[in-house]
Structure formats: structure tokens, C-alpha cells
Structure 1
Amino acid sequence: MRAATVAVAALLSLTACGGRATGEPPMSTPGEARWAQVRFAAPLPRAEPALIQIPKLKVSAPVTRLGLKPDGTIEEPPLSRPNLAGWWEEGPTPGEGGPSVIIGHLDADHRPAVFYGLKSLVRGDRILVTRQDGRTATFAVERIERVPKTSFPAEKIYAEDIDHAALRLVTCGGAVDPATGRYRDNVIAYTRLVQP
């Protein structure tokens, strides 16, 4: 399963964005004091996500499954539902051991979408995922990274060999390519399962 995940992961960086250019918010500074108080949690059993909440950004969004399109690229949430996030169903579920991945649009139809404020999160900010088993997995942001789509770190995002439960949130960022109308970069939030 991991090999298949890595094989398609690079394609995510080409498709998973609104590309309707509202511009992105400014980057925030790290919250080192909050990170020092974080206590990590043991992984949970497998259970699919139902809702993602990012209190700092006032985000509360349903989560759908994402698989592959007929052309082999990864699906993305429809632009007609800008508040919908998508979980990559070939990977771990949020809270399960390993890197789970949820993607969402930065914008849609010139309006901010579900992950518009992702870049403004800082170390220690919380992300909550309500799972279909009734549990809520709480994650703390470790770091935010912006990378060119041409060098998207697919293996690190989807198949990194880690000994804990992690969640990676992916959206677009950077400048818009005038030729395509799409953002040139991806913004990635790396998070880790913590005690509530």
C-alpha cells in the first residue's frame, strides 16, 4: 500500500488547489513556548475521519475520502464545496500510526476555502479530527513548510517511516502562475498526535 501511495503522491502537488487566486495570508512566527508544553499521545486504532476543526482559523469542515481519478491523479474536493476537506484513503487514518494526509483548497471562485489560513498556523496550534469511531484525535502543529510543486516531498508526506501518529495538511500557496492561473507552491502543515 505504501508503494502505491508514493507513486501517486507527487501528482497531488499538481491538482489539489483552487487556483482562483485570492492571495494567501502572511506567515506567522513559531510558537516555541506552546510547543514546550505539548505531551504526545499513543496512536489510535484505525477509524476514518468525519470532521476537521482548526480552532485558530475558525475552521470546521466535513472530511471526504480521496482516491484516484481515471487518469491516475489523486482526487480533490470539488471547488463547488470550498469548505470540504479530503483524506487520502490509501494512507493511515488520522490518529493511526504513520502519516495521515488531509488536503483542502486554498480558495475557490475568488473566496477563501477551507485551508486558506493554513500558512498562518504556528508551532503548538491545535487541529482536531473527529473520527467515525466517536473519538477526537488532537494534533499539534510541529512546523509549516512551503515548497515548489515541482519538488513536492511526496515520500516524506505520504510514506515517511515514523514511530508515531502524524497528520499532514496540504494546500496551495506562493505566487500564481499567470500561464495556468494556479499556485506554484504547496503549503504543508506537519502535525503530531498529542494529548488533548
Structure 2
Amino acid sequence: MPELPASAAGRRVAGAATGALLIGLLFTGCGGDDGGDTASSGTPTPSTTEMTGATATASSVHPLSQSPPTKIAIPKIGVSAPVGSIGLLPDGRVEEPPLSNPNLAGWYDEGVTPGEVGPAVILGHVDANGKPAVFYRLKDLKPGDKIAVARKDGTTATFAVQTAQHVDKDAFPHKKVFGEALDHASLRLVTCGGAFDTKIGHYKDNLIVYAKLISS
């Protein structure tokens, strides 16, 4: 284990960056028992896709102190969901929210909390048991769309979407998602995407949405 930074936020970012190196199988179980997501299955997607357009500037927004998230709301795609905590499994992979609760998102608790300086990460399934799950419509987000994360201390961190990225699960950008050095508060939302591989019973890609704090 490398020596960690002195600050609490820095320690969590460093831990996330090193601990996430084996996340290549992230959300391998994210799929229905009927063969997957009808909205994305069979639809060719590039290995990376970046959304461009006007995004809100947040240079004057003050980051928040540490406080775990309790709820996420994304009005554009009809998301209003509780957020629980997830960590690392013994083999180094990141936990998944339980398929038995498809509307539950999971905050990666080895990283910063949403609203703190650094990359906070929330994961959610695209579908579960053949039915849409919490991040089913994540692919519909556009630059500027708002994401509100309620926190345990009663504050709400509001983010604006900046970019999105489709990546092969074998090429997941661990360091960028979990441990990128930032001077502002950022949020990453992660789910499955791309085609559903019926041979292995998993999606081939991950969809990552990147957002920046605009109000707190």
C-alpha cells in the first residue's frame, strides 16, 4: 500500500485509486434473466462517446464537507432513489447494489462523498430480472442536465452533466473514475451499457456519466 495523503479527502481518493484496479468485472451481473436491456441491447456503441455542449461553470461553488449520500434525484430521466454504501469485495472488485432492490443506487464509500473535492462515484443497475432498474435511462442524459444528491447532514449537492463515456469493461478507466486528482467536486455515475452477451450473461460495456458540482 503506498503512503497516503495527509488530508481525509486525499486519503479516500488515494484508496479509491489503488483499490479500484481490479474493477474490470464491474457490474458483470447487471442484466435481466431474459437477455438484457431492450433499450441498449444490440445497439452498436463506440468504445468512447463524449457529449459536447454548454456546461455550467462552477468556479464559484464552494465544495462541501464529508457527509454520506442518502438519495439521488435526476428529474430528466425520472430517477428518485435511495443511495446506500458499497465497498470493495475481497477479490478487489467493487460491490454491486443488490439486484433484489433494483431502485437502490450504491455510493462507493472508499471515495469522497458527493459534494467534496474529488470524484464521488455512484453505481446503479440498468436492469434487474428483465425489468428496468435505477439507471435504465442514464444514456439519455445530456450536458447541463441536473443531478441532485441529498446528504445525511441535510445538505444537497447539485451537479450538472458534462460528458458521458461508453467503455468496454476490459478497458474501464479506473484511475479517471475513482482516483483522478481534481480541484473541484465531481460526480461519476456508472452502469452497464452496450450489447448484452448471451453467452456470458453480461453486458459488454459500462456507461459512465461525468458531472460537476454547480450548487450546494
Q: Please list every run of 5 or more consecutive structure 1 residues that lacks an aligned counterpart in the other structure.
A: none
Match of 1:6 in 2: 17
Deviation at 1:10, TM superposition (A): 4.2
Distance in 2, matches of 1:188 and 1:29, equals 10
1:9-43, CA deviations, whole angstroms, 9 ceiling, x for partnerless residues?
2443413252220233589995735x2xx241221
Deviation at 1:82, TM superposition (A): 0.3
> How many equivalent residue pairs?
193
- Whether 1:32 and 2:44 are equivalent positions in the alignment is no
Rg larger in structure: 2
2:110 counterpart letter in structure 1: E
Q: Which runs of 4+ in 1 moved over 4 A?
A: 25-31
Distance in 1, matches of 2:50 and 2:167, equals 18
Match of 2:172 in 1: 152
Q: Please list every run of 5 or more consecutive structure 2 residues that lacks an aligned counterpart in the other structure.
A: 1-10
Match of 1:65 among 85, 102, 114: 85
Distance in 2, matches of 1:58 and 1:90, equals 28
Answer whether contact 1:10 1:153 (CA < 8 A) is retained.
no
> What's the TM-score, normalizing by structure 2?
0.83
- Whether 1:104 and 2:121 are equivalent positions in the alignment is no
Distance in 1, matches of 2:181 and 2:88, equals 23
Q: 1:12 to 1:24 in 2, by over 3 A?
A: farther
Map 1:39-50 onto structure 2 (within 5 A).
Answer: 39-40=57-58, 41-50=61-70
- Whether 1:165 and 2:185 are equivalent positions in the alignment is yes
> What's the TM-score, normalizing by structure 1?
0.91
Distance in 1, matches of 2:144 and 2:191, equals 19
Match of 1:82 among 77, 97, 102: 102
Match of 2:154 in 1: 134
